[in-house]
Structure formats: C-alpha cells, structure tokens
C-alpha cells in the first residue's frame, strides 16, 4: 500500500512527541464523517473513525464515548451491539500490539464512495488521513515562523 511507511512514521511522531490531537487537527474527511451527514457507508465510517482515533493516541474510553455521540447524530444510527462488537474487536487487536491504519486516501471505497473526501491544501501532501495532523501542525508552525520573520 502506497504511503504506509510515511503514515507509520507520522503516527510514531504523534506518540513520541505526545501531541494531543483534537478536532481542529482532523482532516476534512474525518470531520465530514463526524458531521453525521452520511447516507451510505456508516460501517466503513465507523472502521475509519475507530482506527483514526486509536492511532492518534486517544484512549478507549474517549473513543467509545466519541463514537456513541457520533452514532446518535446519524439519521439511521448503527445498532449499539454492532458498535460494541467493533470496539471490543479493535481493543483486542490493539492490546495484541497489532493495529490497523486508516485506509489510504486513494482507497475510493472508503472516502470518495461515501462522499466524505473534500480535500483542502494539506490533503495534497498526504496519502493517509493519519498523516494530516502532523502536516497541519508543521504548516501552522511554518506560517507562524514566516509571520515572525
């Protein structure tokens, strides 16, 4: 898969520097999923969200409450049991030190097909939504540095 090494490097940088990633640093596709305006692709969106939030270092309690709030916003919420099962399965995988990256941006089944891919200028620099927070932080810092000079 294209961009996996770069994505893993960005995820490690988030962990190493203990960067607190909040919604301001989320890529447009994740923000679009979180808006709850999804007709098709709720299960794919759940997969994306769980793995995005777990990889950026959110703890499982925070992920779980965030996912439940998101599900409540959906026109047709997923069944609670389905969400519980997905969260338990992912927790088990992560406990075993395995993990799933979010699907790459060029994986159309996920982002384009469910209508959440609305790229901004930072998106052109990444191949996976997990790289977005680091690139955005660097972009903000670079713009602040140029304003200070």
pLDDT over threshold 60, residue 2: no
Contacting residues for 52 by C-beta, under 8 A, at least 6 apart: 26, 30, 102, 129, 130
Could you give phi then psi for residue 112, rounded to 5 degrees? Answer: -65, -45
> pTM of the full predicted structure?
0.89
Tokens in use for 135?
């690139």
What average pLDDT does this structure show over 124-145? 86
Q: What is the mean pLDDT of the chain?
A: 88
**110, 130 in Cβ contact below 8 A?**
no
- Please determine, for residue 79, whether its predicted confidence score (pLDDT) is greater than 90: yes
Tell me the pLDDT tens digit for each residue of 8-58: 887 777 777 777 888 999 999 999 999 988 878 999 999 999 999 999 999
80 pLDDT higher than 80: yes
Average pLDDT over residues 123-134: 93
Segment 78-106 mean pLDDT? 92
Q: How many angstroms separate the CA atoms of 60 and 88, rounded? A: 10
Q: Which residues, at least 6 apart from 121, have a Cβ–Cβ distance to it below 8 Å?
A: none
């Amino acid at each position: 898969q294209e961009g996996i090494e770069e994505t893993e490097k960005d995820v490690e940088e988030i962990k190493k520097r203990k960067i607190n990633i909040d919604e301001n640093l989320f890529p447009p596709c994740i923000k679009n999923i979180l808006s709850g305006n999804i007709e098709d692709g709720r299960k794919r969106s759940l997969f994306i969200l769980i793995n995005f939030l777990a990889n950026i270092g959110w703890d499982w309690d925070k992920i779980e409450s965030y996912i439940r709030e998101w599900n409540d916003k959906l026109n047709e919420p997923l069944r609670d049991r389905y969400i519980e099962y997905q969260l338990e399965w992912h927790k088990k995988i992560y406990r075993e030190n395995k993990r799933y990256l979010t699907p790459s941006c060029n994986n159309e089944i996920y982002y384009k097909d469910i209508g959440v891919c609305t790229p901004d200028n930072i998106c052109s620099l990444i191949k996976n939504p997990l790289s977005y927070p680091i690139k955005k932080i660097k972009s903000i810092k670079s713009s602040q540095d140029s304003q200070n000079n």
